[in-house]
């Protein structure tokens, strides 16, 4: 997920929310993956804390706010890897349909970042202990495993993805739109403003750390990262670019 993709996804959600014709929102990937997560080649080199803050509160938070605000059914159609923020988008969707070839991982920690939203909404949606393990290890689940742990609704062969999606949409169309929006409003009450604020704060903390810088560099270079294993303020980026370069 690049900066541009966060913007585009948010805009698409705004349009879908406002549209009188759109009854369902479908999120799917292009190519061989649903989403490989954060584009560390683009955002792995913040030169100041202020730039990182702009990314978190100017792009990431508005996207999640809009997704949580959407009162229409959101379906993620996953065919391939859904890692990092991609796995979180699937988790935040109302219904997830995945091909049996798909895999899911809350892998932000593998590059020194954080799947912060999974910690907010995950406990209400999937097996809590597996959620913790996935975040602390970054290890992936198969689509079948993800279904067993509550991350996925339907795991089907690739050729059955579209028919399954169409069937579910037909069933949704039998339900009153106001009933669905009311249900989603009730579901949204699980979202704690305090937890969301903490999530964004901790995301900012991780992406301004030397661990993220090292993890991103290692990912691009295709080598194992060498993390600092220290988490005091000295391991974080400076507040301004001037301070960073001095």
Tens digit of pLDDT per residue, the chain (246 long)?
889 999 999 999 999 999 989 999 999 998 788 998 889 888 877 777 888 999 999 999 999 999 999 999 999 999 999 999 999 999 999 999 999 999 999 999 999 999 999 999 999 999 999 999 999 999 999 999 999 999 999 999 999 999 999 999 999 999 999 999 999 999 988 888 999 999 999 999 999 999 999 999 999 999 999 997 765 544 455 454 433 332
Which residues have a Cβ under 8 Å from the Cβ of 5 and sit 6 or more positions away? 39
Q: How far is CA 26 from CA 12, 75, 222, in A?
A: 10, 5, 33
Residue 224, both tokens: 């194992």
Residue 15 to residue 1: CA distance in whole angstroms:
20
pTM over 0.85: yes
Residue 222 to residue 195: CA distance in whole angstroms:
34
Residue 95 to residue 210: CA distance in whole angstroms:
37
Q: Domains in the chain, please, with CATH?
A: 3-195 (3.90.226.10)
């Amino acid at each position: 997920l690049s900066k541009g993709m966060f913007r585009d996804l948010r805009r698409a959600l705004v349009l879908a929310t406002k549209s009188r014709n759109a009854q369902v929102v479908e999120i799917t990937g292009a190519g061989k993956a649903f989403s490989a997560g954060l584009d560390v080649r683009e955002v792995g080199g913040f030169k100041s804390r202020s730039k990182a803050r702009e990314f978190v509160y100017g792009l990431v938070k508005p996207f999640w706010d809009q997704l949580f605000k959407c009162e229409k059914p959101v379906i993620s159609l996953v065919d391939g890897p859904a890692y990092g923020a991609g796995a979180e988008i699937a988790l935040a969707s109302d219904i997830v349909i995945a091909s049996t070839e798909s895999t899911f991982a809350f892998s932000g920690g593998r590059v020194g970042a954080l799947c912060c939203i999974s910690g907010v909404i995950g406990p209400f949606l999937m097996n809590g202990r597996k959620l913790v393990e996935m975040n602390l290890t970054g290890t992936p689940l198969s689509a079948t495993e993800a279904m067993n742990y509550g991350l996925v609704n339907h795991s089907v062969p690739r050729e059955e993805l579209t028919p399954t999606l169409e069937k579910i949409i037909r069933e949704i169309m039998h339900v009153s739109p106001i009933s669905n929006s009311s249900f989603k409003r009730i579901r949204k009450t699980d979202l704690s403003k305090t937890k969301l604020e903490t999530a964004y704060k901790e995301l900012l903390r991780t992406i301004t750390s030397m661990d993220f810088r090292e993890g991103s560099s290692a990912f691009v270079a295709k080598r194992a990262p060498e993390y600092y294993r220290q988490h005091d303020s000295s391991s974080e980026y400076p507040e301004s670019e001037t301070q960073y370069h001095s």
